[in-house]
Amino acid sequence: MHCVIGEVARASTFLARALRCSTIKRAINNGPDSTSETIFALSSGQGKCGVAVIRISGPASALALRSLTGPRQSLPTPRKAMLRDLIHPHSKEMLDRGLVLWFPGPHSFTGEDSAEFHVHGGPAVISGVLEALGSLPNLRPADAGEFTRRAFHAGKLDLTEVEGLGDLIHAETEAQRRQALRQMAGDLGRLYRDWSQRLTQCLAHVEAFIDFSEDELMEHGVLNQVEECLSVLRGEIEEHLRDERKGERLRSGVQVVIAGATNAGKSSLLNLLCQRPAAIVSPVAGTTRDVVESCVDIGGFPVLLSDTAGLRDTLDSVEREGVRRARERVQQADLALVVVDSSQLFQDALHIAAALSTQLAEVLPAGEGPARCLLVLNKSDLLSEEQHRGIMGALRERGDLPRACLLSCHTNSGVNDFLSLLKDAVQTLCADPLTGGPSLTQARHRAHLLECVRALAQYRQYRDLDLALAAEGVRLALTALGRITGRVGAEEILDIVFRDFCIGK
C-alpha cells in the first residue's frame, strides 16, 4: 500500500514537473510541445530513384547522425555535404554509402537541429535506413507536414508561406509554380502584415484618445487621421478582394466545359486537347452521357476540361440526365467551348450567322453574353470552298458573335490558332503571377478578409456613438487579418492548412 502511495506521489511530482517544463517550452516556442521528440521521414518521392533524401529534425538529430555514421566520426561541417558509410547502429551492418548533411538549429528549415541522409534510392536501402533510425531512442516517424509545422512554430514561415510551400509542391504548371513561389517567398504575408501594422497603429490612436482626450491631452485631429487611414486601408482590401477570383482560379485550375449539339465533335476535341482517347468518339449521336474530365496544361495555365453530352431533346432517360448534367456544367464553368459541326451550316453569311446565334443560345444560359465562350467550328475538312468563304464572311461581319475559330479535329488544321485563342482566354481568367500585387489564392484568405472589412464597418457605424465599441471593430479586423498569417488562433487553422501536406515535408 505504501509503495502504491509512494508511486502516486512520485508520479504526481513527475507530472507537475513535466507540465511545468512543457508550459515553459510552449511559451518559448509559441506552439504545442512537440519539440522534445525527434522525427524522421523519407522526404523524396516513393518508388525507385537515383537518390533518396531522408530527413531528421529534433534534439536527437546529432545523436542519430553519429549513431549511423559511427561514433568515432565527428559531426559534419554544418551545411556541407560529406560522404560517409552508413552503418546500422545495432547490427553494425553497412546499409549504404551516401552524403550526410548537418543543420544545427536555429539555422535550419525547422529551426531545430536537423540532418539529412542522401542515399541510393532503392527500396531496401531506404527501408534499412528508416528502420535503423526508428531503432534509436526518442526517434519516431514524422506525421504528414510535421517538418513544416515545426518551421511554422519556430517562426520561420507564416501561414501564407506554409500554404505557398504546399502549393509549390502541388504546382503542375508554370504559372501555378510562379504564383506559389511568390507566396512562399512571403509577398502575400508581407501585404497582410503591412495592413495589420497600420490597423494596430489606428487602434493605438483610438485607445489613446479614449484614455486621454478628457484630460485634453489629445487633439481631436487624431480621430480624423484614424478615419483617413482606415478608409484608405478598406479601399486597398476591397480592391484586393475585387480580383474575380483570378488567383484562386490559377491555384485550382480554370473550369472549361466543351458543349454543343450531338456529333459536333466535342469528344474529338477533348481527346485532341488532352492527347489521349479520354472519351469515346463515334458517329452515333448521343455517345457521351457522363461528364468526362481531364486536366491539361494550356500555355502554362492549369485547365480542367469537361466533355459533356450533346444537347438535344430525347426520350432516353439516361441521355436526358446527361443533358441535364451538361447544362449544369455550362453554368458552373469559367469558359464554354461551344462546338459546332461547320459542315452542317448553310453557304451564305447571313444564314450562317443566324444559325450560329441559335446554337449559342441553345448552349448558354439565358441572358449570358458571348464573353464567357469560344466558338469552335469543327470539321473544316468537310467544307466546300463556298461554305468556307461564307463562314469567314459571317465571322467578319457579325461583331456580336463570340471569338471563334475554324478547325478540324481530323486533319488538325486550325488547331494552333485555336490553342492560342484558348490560351488568351484562360490567361485573362487567371491572375498574372509576374506583375502587380500578390494574388488572393485561397477561399480561407477571402473569408478572413471579408470578416476584416465587416469589422471595419463596425468602426464607422459606432465612431460617433460609442468610441469603445468602434475600437472593438478595429480589434476584430486585426484578429481577422492575424488569422490569415497564423498570428492569431493558429492551432484550429493548422490542421486544415496541413491536411494536404505529404509526409517528409
Ligand X SMILES: Nc1nc2c(ncn2[C@@H]2O[C@H](COP(=O)(O)OP(=O)(O)OP(=O)(O)O)[C@@H](O)[C@H]2O)c(=O)[nH]1
Q: For residues 352 and 391, is the Cβ–Cβ distance under 8 A? A: yes
- Using the minimum distance from each CB to ligand X, give the nearer residue, 200 or 287: 287
Q: Taking CB under 6 A as the rule, does residue 121 contact ligand X?
A: no
Q: How far is the CB of 98 from K ion (least distance, A)?
A: 56
Enter the C-alpha cell of residue 474.
478595429
264 binds, among K ion, Mg ion, ligand X, none (CB under 5 to 8 A by kind): ligand X
Interface mask toward ligand X for 52-91; x: CB under 6 A? ----------------------------------------
CB of 277 to ligand X, least distance (A): 11
Distance separating alpha carbons of residues 31 and 458, to the nearest angstrom: 32
DSSP 144: B
Query: DSSP assignment, residue 259?
Result: E
- 277 contacts 271 by C-beta, under 8 angstroms: yes
Asked if 379 is part of the footprint of ligand X (rule: CB under 6 A), the reply reads yes
23 contacts: CB under 8 Å, gap ≥ 6: none
Does residue 344 bind K ion (CB under 5 A)? no
First to last CA, the chain: 50
| CB-CB contact of 90 with 128 (8 Å) | no
Q: Given the complex with K ion, which of 287 and 344 has the nearer CB atom?
A: 287
Contact 337, 256 (CB under 8 A): yes
**Residue 379 binds: one of Mg ion, ligand X, K ion, none (C-beta under 5 to 8 A by kind):** ligand X
Residue 221 or 283: the one with the smaller Cβ distance to K ion is 283
Residue written as cell 479535329?
409
Quote the least distance from Cβ 378 to ligand X, whole Å.
Answer: 5
* 426 in Cβ contact with 256 (< 8 Å): yes
| Residue 237 contacts ligand X per CB under 6 A | no
Q: Are 138 and 37 in contact (CB under 8 A)?
A: yes
Q: Which of residues 270-299 bind K ion (CB under 5 A)?
A: 282, 287
Q: Is 129 in the site for ligand X (CB under 6 A)?
A: no
Residue 84 binding: pick among Mg ion, ligand X, K ion, none (C-beta 5-8 Å cut-off by kind): none
3-class secondary-structure state, position 306: strand
- In the list 288, 387, 441, 479, the residue contacting Mg ion (rule: CB under 5 A) is 288
- Asked whether position 288 contacts ligand X by CB under 6 A, the answer is yes
| Shortest separation between residue 343's beta carbon and ligand X, angstroms | 7
At residue 114, what is the residue type?
A: S
Question: Considering only 123-131, 245-253, 377-385, 439-447, which stretch makes contact with ligand X by CB under 6 A?
Answer: 377-385
- Does 264 engage in binding with ligand X (CB under 6 A)? yes
CB of 267 to Mg ion, least distance (A): 3
Q: How far is the CB of 269 from ligand X (least distance, A)?
A: 7
Q: Which amino acid is at 393?
A: G
The DSSP secondary-structure symbol of 73 reads: S
CB of 279 to ligand X, least distance (A): 7
**For residues 133 and 68, is the Cβ–Cβ distance under 8 A?**
yes
Q: Is 314 in the site for K ion (CB under 5 A)?
A: no
Smallest separation (angstroms) from K ion to the CB of 406: 20
Rounded CA separation 422/373 (Å): 10
Binding mask 309-348 for ligand X (x = CB under 6 A): -x--------------------------------------
Q: Are 452 and 477 spatial neighbours (Cβ–Cβ below 8 Å)?
A: yes
Tell me which stretch binds Mg ion (CB under 5 A): 20-28, 68-76, 173-181, 261-269: 261-269
Q: How far apart are CA 136 and CA 86, in angstroms?
A: 14
276 phi and psi angles, rounded to 5 deg? -160, 155
- Distance from C-alpha of 113 to C-alpha of 103, rounded to nearest angstrom: 6
Q: Does 262 interact with ligand X (rule: CB under 6 A)?
A: yes
Closest of 153, 156, 161 to residue 186, by C-alpha = 161
Residue 29 lies near K ion (rule: CB under 5 A): no
In this complex, which beta carbon is closest to Mg ion, that of residue 129 or of residue 279?
Answer: 279
> Minimal distance in Å, beta carbon 326 to Mg ion?
10
Q: What are phi and psi of 217, to 5 degrees?
A: -85, -15
Select the residue interacting with ligand X from 207, 293, 381, 472 (CB under 6 A): 381
By CB under 6 A, residue 306 contacts ligand X: no
Contact of 261 with 340, CB cutoff 8 Å = yes
Stretch that binds ligand X, among 141-149, 218-226, 265-273, 469-477 (CB under 6 A): 265-273
Q: Which is nearer to ligand X, 94 or 285 (CB)?
A: 285
Handedness of CA 215, 218, 221, 222 (dihedral sign): negative
Indicate left, alpha or beta for 237 from its phi (over 0: left) and psi (-120 to 50: alpha): alpha
Least distance CB 338 / Mg ion (angstroms): 14
Binding site for ligand X (CB under 6 A): 262-268, 281-283, 285-288, 310, 378-379, 381-382, 408-410
State the residues that interact with Mg ion by CB under 5 A: 266-267, 287-288
